[in-house]
Amino acid sequence: MIAVGWAVFRITAIPDIFSLVVVLLRTLAFTGLGVLIGGMVREAEAVTALGNMLSFPMMFLSGAFWPLEIMLQFLQEAAKYVPLYYFHAALREALLTGSLSTALAPSLVLAAMAAVSMSLAIFTTSGGTSSR
């Protein structure tokens, strides 16, 4: 994606190690959430439906498609309760402004979410595998 961004869109943002850590935290957080859902719901169709039911509103409220500033005030406030908001905030600050100090707070929220979701996913799936 970075190569396409450089070639097609002529972006100038170069990911540093902190940006890559933010991407890794996002991967852990949402993988844990997916495994947690899969561990709680047994039917594949229900897992897909529940995943979509969570992810699509999250994408629209997180600032992924358009800036939060153009949203209604109550939607801007609701966005702060959406986990994907913190990923976008951290990555935006790290890549666009280069300010690690402003990217640190959303990164810590993302790290906490990764730890909680991975822990719950491990707990949910390890309990189910021993009885099978």
- Per residue in 44-79, pLDDT tens? 888 889 988 988 888 888 888 888 899 999 999 998
What's the token pair of residue 2? Answer: 């970075």
Angle in degrees, 0-180, between the axes of helices 100-129 and 17-40, rounded to the nearest 10: 30
Reported as a single tens digit per residue, the pLDDT across 76-97 is 999 888 889 999 889 888 887 7
CB of 47 within 8 A of CB of 55? no
Reported as a single tens digit per residue, the pLDDT across 21-48 is 999 999 999 999 989 988 888 888 888 8
What are the angstrom distances between the C-alpha of 105 and each of 29, 86, 93, 101, 126? 16, 9, 11, 8, 31
pTM across the whole model: 0.76
CA–CA separation, 49 vs 28, rounded Å? Answer: 21
What's the token pair of residue 28? Answer: 């852990």
